[in-house]
Amino acid sequence: MKTTIRLAVLATAFAAVSAQAQEVLEVGANIGNVPWEFQDESGAFVGFEVDLANAVAEKLGRDVEIVNIPFNGLFSAVQSGRIDMAMSSITITDERLKSVSFAQPYYDSDQSLTVAAGGPASLDEMNGKVVGVDTGSTGDMWATDHAAEYGFADIRRYEGLAPAMLDLQAGRIDGYISDIPALQYYVKDKPALQVVQRITTGEKYSFMFAKDAELASDVNEILSGLKQDGTVPALHEKWFGAAPEAETSTATVLDMPAAK
């Protein structure tokens, strides 16, 4: 009898711990990635994806805990189960879909070239110049693939936008290649910096998960609802100052990406 009671108590305790664990959605993000996820003056995490993750978690009935992880570490973090979901304007690619899963996209983007005022006016003027990128990003991939074409003298890799911008303004790099919405948002009140060229890549962002995770399908369905009820378009207007165009992934329900 004592053994039965003890087992029942342990089972109850385990169930309570499991339920408590399920209440928290562990989300990895490279904090400092404006306007997607960054800290405001009070130190709170804010941004388009922070708001969207909170909206998703509310539908799941879970609280969000954001874990600050360098961009390149987000992939191993979801694969190992350290986090449930990752965000940081992560582009869906066929190569990434071989090892991770994504929910449907919620933002369309391209890359861009940002320089200090008076610097190179385009990629054609980056011959012999040093370019900065974020480690492991699609900007890193693009710059590596096109280094010979544009004659980059060197590619320097950073863990986030802030240190790259410091080096750009200090003249340690001549240009920075990264996602255009983040840079347009960042430089809008900084006349010493300029986004001088859009680099068309047709990228789409979404939340990333462990390969074939059930949570990916659940979040995909939630995103459909959040697009249909106007939540995602409203967040676009909040953070970018305008409603999304009707045909973009921010406003359109799409299929969950699958590996080819």
pTM of the shown model: 0.82
Query: Is 94 among the domain residues?
Result: yes
Residues 73 and 183 in one domain: no
Check: CB of residue 203 under 8 Å from CB of residue 138: yes
Domain count, the chain: 2
Do the domain assignments include residue 18? yes
| pLDDT (0 to 100) of residue 16 | 39
Q: Are residues 102 and 211 in the same domain?
A: yes
How many Cα atoms within 13 Å fall on the side-chain side of residue 13?
Answer: 6
Q: Would you state the pLDDT for residue 242?
A: 85
| Residue 252 placed within a domain | no
- What's the CA gap between 170 and 21, in Å, rounded? 46
Are 101 and 212 in the same domain? yes
Specify the DSSP element, H or E, that contains 221. Answer: helix 214-228
Residue 119 lies in a domain: yes
- Asked whether residue 48 is assigned to any structural domain, the reply reads yes
Q: Examine the domain organization and report whether 8 and 102 are in the same domain.
A: yes
The secondary structure element, H or E, covering residue 155 is: strand 154-158
| Domain carrying residue 150 | 110-203
Please check whether residues 23 and 85 belong to one and the same domain: yes
90 and 136 co-located in one domain: no
The reply to whether 213 and 92 lie within a common domain is yes
In terms of domains, do 99 and 210 share one?
yes
Is 41 in the same domain as 116?
A: no
The CA distances from residue 29 to 65, 72, 120, in Å, are 10, 10, 31
Question: Do residues 249 and 204 make contact, with C-beta atoms less than 8 angstroms apart?
Answer: yes
pLDDT means per 10 residues, the chain with 260 residues, are 42 42 87 94 97 98 97 97 97 97 97 96 98 96 98 96 96 97 90 95 97 98 98 96 91 94
**What is the predicted pLDDT for the residue at 22?**
60
Cα gap 94→53, rounded to integer Å: 24
Q: Is 39 inside any structural domain?
A: yes
- Give percent of the chain above pLDDT 70: 92
Residue 192 falls within a domain, yes or no?
Answer: yes
Same domain membership, residue 118 and residue 102: no
67 and 195 assigned to the same domain: no
pLDDT score of 9: 43
Containing H/E element for 60?
A: helix 48-60
For residue 23, the model assigns a pLDDT of 85
Structure tokens at 201: 């890549």
Q: How far apart are CA 202 and CA 233, in angstroms?
A: 19
Task: Please say whether the beta carbons of 38 and 32 come within 8 A.
Answer: yes
CATH number at residue 133: 3.40.190.10
Q: Are residues 132 and 144 in the same domain?
A: yes
Distance CA 171, CA 57 (A): 42
